[in-house]
Chains A and B, each alone.
Chain A
Amino acid sequence: GDSVTQMEGPVTLSEEAFLTINCTYTATGYPSLFWYVQYPGEGLQLLLKATKADDKGSNKGFEATYRKETTSFHLEKGSVQVSDSAVYFCALSDSNNDMRFGAGTRLTVKP
Chain B
Amino acid sequence: GAVVSQHPSRVICKSGTSVKIECRSLDFQATTMFWYRQFPKQSLMLMATSNEGSKATYEQGVEKDKFLINHASLTLSTLTVTSAHPEDSSFYICSARGSTEQFFGPGTRLTVL
Q: Chain B interface mostly helix, strand, loop or mixed?
A: strand
Complex CA gap A92/B66 in Å reads: 28
What are 10 sample pairs from A and B whose C-beta atoms fall under 8 A apart?
A: A36-B104, A42-B106, A43-B93, A44-B95, A44-B104, A49-B101, A98-B46, A98-B49, A101-B43, A103-B42
B interface, how many residues as a size bin?
10 to 19
* B34 close to A (CB within 8 Å): yes
Query: Which residue from A42, A46, A89, A97 sits with its C-beta under 8 Å from B44?
Result: A89
Q: List the interface of chain A (C-beta within 8 A of B).
A: 36, 42-46, 49, 89, 97-104
One digit per residue, 1 when the CB lies within 8 angstroms of any chain A CB and 0 when it does not, for chain B 95-113 equals 1010001111111000000
Complex CA gap A104/B40 in Å reads: 11
Complex CA gap A42/B44 in Å reads: 14
Q: Report whether B106 and A43 are in contact in the complex, using a CB–CB cutoff of 8 Å.
A: yes
Q: Report whether B46 and A99 are in contact in the complex, using a CB–CB cutoff of 8 Å.
A: yes
- Which residue of A has the minimal Cβ distance to B108? A43
